[in-house]
Amino acid sequence: MDKLVIQGGRPLKGEVGISGAKNATLPLMAAALLTDEPLVLSNVPALADIRSMAGLVGHHGARVDTTGHGLALHAQNIADTTAPYDIVRKMRASILVLGPLLARAGHARVSLPGGCAIGNRPIDLHLKGLKALGAEIELAEGYVEARANGGLEGAVVPLPFASVGATENLMMAASLTRGTTVIENAAREPEISDLAACLAAMGAGISGAGTERIEIEGRDTLSGARHRVIADRIEAGSYAVAAAITGGDLILAGAEPETMRATIAALEEAGAETSELPAGLHVRGDSATRGVDITTQPYPGFPTDMQAQLMALMALSDSASVITETIFENRFMHVSELARMGADITVTGASATIRGVRALTGAAVMATDLRASMSLVLAGLAAEGETVIHRVYHLDRGYERLEEKLRGVGADIARAKE
Ligand code: UD1
């Protein structure tokens, strides 16, 4: 296993290229199972989660060809409708094959993702939605098994919570289903709009993506398509915090600021200066960071996937701030590690009170999820002395060429064997 070693205290300056969005690519790859023609994606990030998903759609029968940041997926036939435990346990997003397999093959059996480090994360909303389209669903032996013997049929599906994954699963299934489906209280994340654009290019009739009511006119068959993945707003937000926390000056080339409004507002309130570029975002840090109160919310609110990174910045603010996590339970694992670097943070229920300190000091730390790991990298970049981050594989799931990108803008960061 690898570790990252960071010598902190260098302001980051220069240009960082922002990759395509992992969380947009994963559902798009599942959507390839909806058609017997090739789906060709560009701007695909090279990440461990993408390789896991490639393995999964490959297992279901898709031919997968990767060239640089391009990915061609061709599921001429569905060879196997079971998503096995060994693949699903590595990546919860595997549940996204449920809707496409069911709609295309009339049957899907997917290992239950189970709990994970950031809370319980059930899939009841995915199942409720597919049942509304006429699926019969059984849970047995750790698997969810869905059947649609008479085919699925369009329906009105109100979601009790605007789940991103459930919205995506339903959009994909409904695209290859007789009749019209309406998803009420749909998630509005940019990744939803990106998936809708791709499904529309494949021939589905979709309107309302990006609002809370998505209407999908299903088709008997869908065609192949070419689609460019949107920029990763969480990666871009993480580098924006890197500029702010080091008092640096970064151009985030390819970032899409219109998908980052809440993050940009929080950074500005904290004292960073941002300006939009024709194809990117410019972020300049200030030596004095102000405390900002944040509550995570579904899009367009402040993203839960940026919460840990913002907390690292708040740890170095000149005042106190409160960060409240409303999306996931148990998403404060970075707190105890940030505390080991000198941060002053108290957690009460779903809220963390952060009293800014003058400086953080390097330490050996590790985290149990992707964004928590990134918050430790950010803290390490700003800390005095050496920070060693263990369990780097979390970062490899979601940040393409992390050390290379950071070194390119002046960070002292190296990967080493444990
Ligand atoms: C996606 C993102 C993840 C992000 C999250 C929220 C991907 C691959 N992952 O995850 O990075 O943090 O959105 O923005 O895109 N819930 C239920 N029942 C369900 C489904 C969800 O109770 O059937 C709950 C979850 O436990 C969680 C909340 O709803 O508390 C949000 O989950 P959801 O929006 O579904 O997130 P994911 O799609 O898993």
pLDDT, tens digit (0-9, with 9 covering 90-100), for 188-231: 999 999 999 999 999 999 999 999 999 999 999 999 999 999 99
pLDDT in tens, 273-294: 999 999 999 999 987 899 999 9
Q: Is residue 258 part of a domain?
A: yes
Q: Is residue 182 part of a domain?
A: yes
3-state secondary structure of 220: coil
Same domain, 327 and 346: yes
The band of 117, judged by pLDDT with boundaries at 50, 70 and 90, is low
Query: Interior CA angle at 327 toward 325 and 329, to 5°?
Result: 70
Range of the domain at 184: 80-227
Q: Is residue 39 part of a domain?
A: no
Q: Is the pTM of this model over 0.95?
A: yes
Distance 302 CA to ligand 1 centre (A): 14
pLDDT for 154: 97
What is the helix (H) or strand (E) element at residue 13, kind and residue range?
strand 13-17
Phi, psi of 146 (to 5 degrees): -120, 135
For residues 191 and 163, the answer to whether their CB atoms sit within 8 Å is no
Tell the residue nearest (CA) to atom 15 of ligand 1.
Answer: 23
Quickly tell me which residue has 């969480």 as its tokens. Answer: 234
105, 116, 253, 265: which one is catalytic? Answer: 116
The band of 127, judged by pLDDT with boundaries at 50, 70 and 90, is very high
Distance 112 CA to ligand 1 centre (A): 15
Q: Is residue 218 part of a domain?
A: yes
pLDDT for 114: 60
Q: Is residue 44 part of a domain?
A: no
Whether 116 shows a pLDDT value over 70: the answer reads no
For residues 39 and 32, the answer to whether their CB atoms sit within 8 Å is yes
Domain ends where: 227, 248, 269?
227
pLDDT for 119: 56
Better-scored residue on pLDDT, 205 or 140: 205
Domain ends where: 196, 227, 258?
227
Same domain, 209 and 336: no
Reply yes or no on whether 116 is catalytic: yes
Round to whole Å and give the CA distance between 278 and 256.
9
For residues 69 and 46, the answer to whether their CB atoms sit within 8 Å is yes
Same domain, 97 and 13: no
Q: Residue 200's CB: how many other CB atoms inside 10 A? A: 17
Q: What share of the chain is helix, strand, coil (3-state, %, to 5)?
A: 35, 30, 35
Q: Average of pLDDT values for 299-322? A: 98
Percent residues over pLDDT 70 in the chain: 98
Same domain, 209 and 278: no
For residues 327 and 119, the answer to whether their CB atoms sit within 8 Å is no
Residue 141's contacts (CB-CB under 8 Å, 6 or more residues apart) are: none
Same domain, 221 and 263: no
Same domain, 254 and 126: no
pLDDT for 90: 86
Round to whole Å and give the CA distance between 284 and 44.
28
Same domain, 202 and 243: no
Q: Is residue 61 part of a domain?
A: no
CATH number of the domain bearing residue 269: 3.65.10.10
pLDDT in tens, 85-107: 998 988 889 999 999 999 999 99
The band of 176, judged by pLDDT with boundaries at 50, 70 and 90, is very high
Residue 22 CA: nearest ligand 1 atom is: 8
- Looking at the 3D structure of the chain, how many domains does it have? 2
Whether 115 shows a pLDDT value over 80: the answer reads no
Q: Average of pLDDT values for 291-314? A: 98
The band of 393, judged by pLDDT with boundaries at 50, 70 and 90, is confident
- Token pair for 283: 């972020």
Pocket of ligand 1 (CB under 6 A): 23, 26, 93, 120-126, 161, 163-166, 191, 303-305, 327-328
Same domain, 222 and 263: no
Q: Which of 102, 98, 125 is nearest to 185 (CA)?
A: 125
Q: Average of pLDDT values for 230-249? A: 98
How many CA atoms are closer than 13 Å to the CA of 57, on its beta-carbon side?
Answer: 34
pLDDT in tens, 325-370: 999 988 999 999 999 999 999 999 999 999 999 999 999 999 888 9
Round to whole Å and give the CA distance between 75 and 104.
11
Tell the residue nearest (CA) to atom 30 of ligand 1.
Answer: 328
User: What is the rounded average pLDDT for all residues in the chain?
Assistant: 96
